[in-house]
Amino acid sequence: METLTLLLFALAIYGLPGMKEKSTSSRGGLGATLVAVLVGTGFTLLTMKAFDVQISDAVAMELAAKSLPEAYGKNVVNVILVDFRALDTMGEITVLLIAALGVYAMLGGYATNHRLTMVQGRSPVLRASTRYIAPAMILFSIYLLLRGHNEPGGGFIGGLVAAMGAILVHLARTDMPLKLYRMTPGILMVIGLAMAVLSGVPSLFQGDAYLTSVWGGEFSLPAVGKIKVGTPLFFDVGVYLVVAGVVLMLYRTMEEWQSARQDIENCAR
């Protein structure tokens, strides 16, 4: 699952301009290396030590034991994220949203002159396959989202896959499903956060604390299996939308800013 995040890292860094390295000479080469080796050794020892330490696992045991009877979920990690510690997750997606907004503001929003019509220079194989892969990725992301409560998957990973599907459309510059890429990330993000926030409200009417989960009936879908409807599901959908929106917004602002700069430089020549 973390490989996807890694891929996104690569994407984000790839979009950077080739920064001119003025001074490759490092400061105090030997000393820095020495410090680095020391820190590395320290971390290694710490990790070795960490294997032996028996952290009191009462909390984890409690959570794991309550996961199925109280939250109806078999994927304990996901249950913790969207149910037991939902407030943490809400803070987290808020941080993500603010980061994306900050990037948007710093780069001055989307570039006004879209040049998405340029088609040359892209591999036809990529273009042809994207037509089928991108919709499949979106579908797969929804599948991941829905089954996340019981099996590996969930809102985060689903949102990442969905965003990557949309980014793929843009990378391949296909003319067909550009709408997919054009989905306004800002709106996705706001809807997602609103869903997450509102999913905590129903429990208030029952006299419980904010974000206590309220469960309804269950229904089953082909290929996914039984899904129990409840506020955590809405919360997870909210997380999905926020993550997808944030990643898309980050990519889009960076990419369009970049191509706008290139335009200016081309004109100057």
Does 10 interact with other proteins (rule: CB under 8 A)?
no
85-104 mask for other proteins (x: CB under 8 A)?
x--xx--x--xx--xx-xx-
Task: Kindly tell me which residue out of 71, 72, 81, 130 binds other proteins, with binding defined by CB under 8 A.
Answer: 81
Task: Give backbone dihedrals phi and psi of 19, rounded to 5 degrees, phi first.
Answer: -80, 130
Q: Which is nearer to other proteins, 45 or 176 (CB)?
A: 45
Instruction: Candidates 27-35, 173-181, 188-196, 205-213: pick the segment binding other proteins (CB under 8 A).
Output: 27-35
CA–CA–CA angle 219, 78, 56 (5° rounding): 135
Task: Encode 158-195: b = buried (16+ Cβ within 10 Å), e = exposed.
Answer: bbbbbbbbbbbbbbbbbeebeebbeeebbebbeebbeb
Task: Please say whether the beta carbons of 239 and 159 come within 8 A.
Answer: yes
Task: Please say whether the beta carbons of 154 and 83 come within 8 A.
Answer: no
Q: Which is nearer to other proteins, 64 or 204 (CB)?
A: 64
Dist. CA 148–CA 73, nearest whole Å: 9
| Binders in 98-137 for other proteins, by CB under 8 A | 99-100, 102-103, 106-107
Task: Please say whether the beta carbons of 83 and 66 come within 8 A.
Answer: no
Instruction: Candidates 113-121, 123-131, 150-158, 164-172: pick the segment binding other proteins (CB under 8 A).
Output: 150-158
Dist. CA 254–CA 62, nearest whole Å: 44
Report residue 161 as tokens: 């896959």
Does 65 interact with other proteins (rule: CB under 8 A)?
yes
Q: Which residues bind other proteins (CB under 8 A)?
A: 2, 5, 8-9, 12-13, 16-17, 19, 21-23, 26-28, 32-33, 35-37, 39-48, 50-51, 53, 55, 57, 59-60, 63-65, 67-69, 74-77, 80-81, 85, 88-89, 92, 95-96, 99-100, 102-103, 106-107, 150-152, 156, 243, 246, 250, 253-254
